[in-house]
Structure 1
Amino acid sequence: MRRWFHERISRRGMLSGSAAAAGGALLGAFAGERRAAAQGVPVAHGPEALAGGSHTGHGNMITVGTVDDGRNGFDPAAMLTDWNTGTISRLPDGSRLRTFEIVAQDKEIEIAPGVIFPAWTYNGRVPGPTLRATEGDRLRIVFRNEGSHPHTMHFHGMHAARMDGVPGAGEARPGGEFIYEFDALPFGCHLYHCHAEPLKRHIHKGLYGAFIIDPDPTRHPEHAAAARSRLLGTDENRQWQEFVMVMNGFDTDFDGENEIYAVNTVAHHFLKNPIRIERRRPVRIYIVNILEFDPINSFHLHGNFFDYYDQGTTLAPTLRTVDTVMLCQAQRGILEFTYRAHEAGAYMFHAHQSEFAELGWMGVFDVVEVAS
C-alpha cells in the first residue's frame, strides 16, 4: 500500500497543484484588465499579456511556458473550427461524393511545455482532422499507412461490415492503403479511431478524431429550422459559434495511467489562450471523449447551463438546462448555450474531476461585447 501511495503521488506531482488557485489568478487577471481598460489605462492583450500574468508562476502550479505549435504542426485553437469537408464531386446518379485523404504517421508532439510524446497520428496531428459531411453523402476515405505498425480507421456510424476498420476488414499494413466507402448516416457528432490491436495502445497514442454529420433539413421537415442551424454553410448556421473539443490524455511513462489531460491535446492551452465568445451569439460545442485509462470524463461550464444532445443524433435536446455532463470513452454529444443574458467576462470550463483539471483539462471562455 505504501509503495502504491508514493507512486501515485509521484506521477501526479509532475504538473498538479491547485486548480482553484490557477483559475482564480487567471480570472483575476482578466477582471483587472477590464477595470484598467474602463479607466483608460493601456493594457496588453492576447497570449503575451497572459504569459506575463501571475498564473504562470510556480505558486499556481499549472504548466509553465508555451508549446511550439509550429513544431507540432497543429494549433489546438485552430482545431476548434478547422472543418475538413473533403473534396466534393458527383457520382453517376448525381448524388454527392466527398473524398477524404488520411495518412497515418509516427510523429513526436509536444503535449505540455517541454513534454514530448511519441505519437501515432492521422495527418500529422492529434486529434486527427475533423471530418464533416452532410447526411446522405457518399463518403470515400482514402487511407494510407506511413506508420510503423498496422492501422485502421473505424468510424462510429452506419456502414457495411467490410468497411468496419478492424483487423480483417479495413486494416492497412505499413506502406499499405485501404479505401473506406459508405453513406454518411446517421447525422450527429461521431468519431473515428484506429481499431488495430492492442486497441488501447493505438487509441492512446493519438489515432482518433471527430466525425460530424450535419442533418439534411429536407429529411427532417418537422425540425427543419434546427437542422438548418446545424448544416454548415447555411445562413442559420453562420449565426452560431461552433467549436469541436476532443477530450484526451497522455500516459507519458507508459504505466497505464495518464499524467496529462487536455482538450485538443495541449495541457492548459485554453487557460493561456482563452476562447473568444461573442456575447450575443449562441454557442455550439461538438464534444468527444476519447480518454484512455480513465473510465469517465466530464465537461462542466461555469456560470451558465446548456442543452445537451447525446451522440448528436436528435434535433431536440436529450438533456435540458444542465451544467455538467459525464462521458465514457467514445461517448460524445452536442452542447448548446448562450451568454446573451450575461455580462462580458472570463468564464471557466473544465472536467469536474479536479485531478484532470489540475493536470491540464481546464480552459476559459472570454465573453466579449461586439457592437451590433
Structure 2
Amino acid sequence: MAIIKVLKRENPYVQIDKTGIDDPNLSWEATGLLTYLVGRPNNWKINIAHLSSVKKNKETSTRKALLELRKYNYCHLFEIRKGGKYIEKFYLVFEVPTQYDEISSNMDVELKEGEKIFYVKVKKERNSNNLPEVENQLMVENIENKGVLPNVEKPKMVKPKVENQALINKELLNNNRMNKEKNHEYDFEEKDDDLRKIEKLFKEFGIDFSIKHKIKIKELLQKNSVDFLISHFKKQYEILKKKENVKSIAAVMSKHLFQGTCEVDSSFLLKKEQENQLQLQKEEKEMKQLNNALQVFLTLPMEKQEAIESEILKKRKEINPQIKKISTFLFHKMIVSDIEILLAKEKLI
C-alpha cells in the first residue's frame, strides 16, 4: 500500500498547513496521523500493521483515524485493477481538504497495459440509533462493510415473589411521598432567593409576576442559573425598547416566556450580514485576480511557464513538484499566488 503525499521537506523539520491541525471535525487521532503522514518522504510505502506499531494506537484505532481523514477529504483512496482483479491500492494525502472533483479530471498516474484506476468512496454510516461508542468496538473495516451491530437476545426478567407484598408497596408509597415532600421543600427553600431576584427584576420592567410566571421561572431555574436568566431578560427588555411597533413590553416578554421563544436583535443580524457580504466581495475580488493571473500565465510560451515554475519551487521547497504529474490543476492552484507576484514584477498583469 502506497501513501502519495503532497508536501516534502529535505530537512528534518516539517512545514504543514495548520488547517488540518485546527479542524474541529478531526479527532486527535486523525490530526496526529495526518501530521505524521505529511512528514513522510514522497511515495513512502506503508501498511496498517506498520502504522499501528509506530504509536501506541492499535490497528482498529489506526484504521478508524485513516477512515476519518478520508471522510473529511484530507485523503482519497484509489484501487488499481486489471481485468476486474485487484492489483494495488494507494492514497493521495493532502494538507487541506481537497474534493475528489478537483483531482479526478487531472489524474496522471502511470499504468500498465489493461490496468484501470477506481475511486473508493467512503461508505455512509448506518448507525441511525446514535448508539454510544464502547471501548471494545468491532473492527473498523467490519463496521464500514456491514454497518450493523450483532443482535443480542433480550433476557427475560422474572419478578421475584415476596411475602407480604402489600406491606412493601405501602413502604414504597411512603418513600415516594417523603421524596416529594423533600423536593417540594427544596423548591420553596433553595430557590426562593433566586425567585425573588427575578420577581424584583420583572417589577422593574412593569411585569405582573403572577402564579403562572412563578411556575415557569421555577422550571427555568432547574436548568439555568439565576445570573444567566437575569442577563437574558435584560437583553430581551433592551431589544424590545428599541422596537417602535411594540405596544406592551410586558405582554411580549410574558408571551415569549410561556412559549419558550425570544426576540432577535435585527440590527445585530443586519450588521453581521453586511460584514459577511463585504468578506464575500473581498474573497471574490481576490479570486478574480488569481484567476486572471493564471489565465495570463497559461498564455505564455511553455519555456516561460517552466522558468516561472522553477523559480517558485526554488523558494518554496516544501512543494513537491511531482504533484504536477498527478494533477496540473492542483499544482497551479498551490502556486497561483506566487505566479501573480512574479507576473506583476514583470508587468505582465
Structure with max Cα Rg: 2
With the length of structure 1 as denominator, give the TM-score of the two structures. Answer: 0.17
With the length of structure 2 as denominator, give the TM-score of the two structures. Answer: 0.18
Task: Give the number of the structure whose residues are more often strand, by fraction.
Answer: 1
